[in-house]
Amino acid sequence: MTIGGIIVARGRTSQGTPMDDHHGWRPTSTHTAAVVTGILLLAAAVLAGRADIALIGIPSLLAATLATATRPTTPQTATLHEPTGPTTPGELTATLHLTTGPTTADVIHLRITAPGHRETHLALAAHARPRTGTGEDADAGGSTEDAAERRVPLRLSSVRTGPQETFDITMRGSRHGTWEEEPTEVGGARRLVLPGTVPLGRLPLPLRLRGLTGPHSSRRLGDGSELRDIHPFTPGDRLRRIDWRTTARRSPELDTLYVRRTYSSAEASAVLVVDSRDEVGPDLRTWRGYGTLRVDEPTSLDLARHAAASVAQALVEAGDRVGLEDLARRRRPLPPASGRRHLRRVVHGLALAHPKDRATEHQVRPPQVPADAVVYLFTTVLDDAPLHLVRTWRTKGHPVIVIDTLPDLHPVIEHHLWIAWRITRLEREDRLAALDREGVPVVRWAGSERDKAAVRFEALARAAQRHVPGRVPGAPRTANP
């Protein structure tokens, strides 16, 4: 997959029309009509013996002769410049550079298309000072110092993420209305759109924390900022931990030294598991593989990318470790790590998540999760595989949080689709009810529920602190054990 860069136009002949010897230029119907009209009028003048008819046909032949003498000899060139590297959702931009010589076209016709957008047609003057033109999905305009060079800015609006097809431009030049060029296609690169994020605040943490340093306080003794107790000095305690005030109060003779013992600091580990085996939109008719998904409506995979990127950002900002697993691409998982650079790798991996061919679909096996890690599963819960994965992880002692990424669906009109969706919805509700009975929290990430996700995560984090078994008395409530 190519991202960004400069794409040079490559000519392609229209079907059924042979290429001309002069770089693809061919006479138009106007040129042919002028020649045929002149010849017919001259023939009629000779047969009728009337000079006035000949005078009418001579200008047509002169115009055709002049057009043949000024036949274009060089083709026009076009390059499409696109920003290099991944981009963010919202708008995809590019600039089309058109270059014409003095003996080429004087009018350039453009047909600009993109998946999910309306087709836009533009007619530009090649040698005149350009005026700004606008289209619904592509804007054209601008000027350059060279009158023979035109720059056409292009823009696409879309809320979709991941690999996205961009501009497909067909260019055709004409000269004096008598010569036209073979259509030339300029194809845009496939762009990678990274998912956006929203602030989430505090997230639920696993019951046990690992690591020798981090932003949280664990239940182990060690170096940290949270006080555990005051204890008599034992071999192995550091001298800087001695509390001289307590020692002077409890042992005036300095027979026993007392040290301050603290909870060791640690970091949490989380694994984001994205169920990218399918991608469904709000329109049920597109679930069968027919039709095109709209660019102004996020799909289930777009919501999963957005939710996973938001959770990853919140974990990294808190100093925790985060990893990524893709159920459709099990070959290259990202192990848990921390830092801004790792966050960019996670977001890039989320953008590359996409469904694979149904013909190669196999039974989903639970990914390997590090010990004492919390699992965030992003799925639509349209089959039994997520339920099996959750039960497997919980059996191994991993806390699991399910993020429901099914988008809000449009009203169903067709009766057969309504029956099929009713059956699917009932099965899905049974799976969600089973998760609720087993104590697995489910966070909805679609429509208006997306704005309540931060509050839901905060409530889960507080509930985890209140109901953790074996909490040490006096331990601070601001830290998750």
Task: Return the CATH superfamily for domain 5-19+73-193.
Answer: Immunoglobulins (2.60.40.10)
Mean pLDDT of 407-422: 88
Per-residue exposure over 408-422, b if at least 16 CB sit within 10 Å of its own CB, e if not: eeeebeeeeeeeebe
> How do residues 209-263 score in pLDDT, each as one tens digit?
665 554 554 455 555 555 556 667 777 767 677 777 777 777 777 777 887 666 6
Which pLDDT belongs to residue 12?
35
Q: Please answer whether residues 412 and 406 qualify as being in contact, where contact means their C-beta atoms are separated by less than 8 angstroms.
A: no
Q: What is the largest CA-CA distance in the chain?
A: 144
Determine the CATH number of domain 270-466.
3.40.50
Mean pLDDT of 369-390: 90
Which pLDDT belongs to residue 388?
93
Per-residue exposure over 212-222, b if at least 16 CB sit within 10 Å of its own CB, e if not: eebebbbbbee
Does 265 or 306 have the greater pLDDT score? 306
Q: Please answer whether residues 205 and 316 qualify as being in contact, where contact means their C-beta atoms are separated by less than 8 angstroms.
A: no
Q: Is the pLDDT of residue 399 over 70?
A: yes
Task: Indicate the domain borders of the chain.
Answer: 5-19+73-193, 25-69, 216-266, 270-466
Domain 5-19+73-193 matches domain 270-466 at the CATH topology level: no
CA distances from 10 to 170, 184, 354, 431, 453 (A): 10, 6, 30, 53, 49
Both tokens assigned to 181: 């060029």
* Angstrom distance (rounded) from CA 313 to CA 462: 20
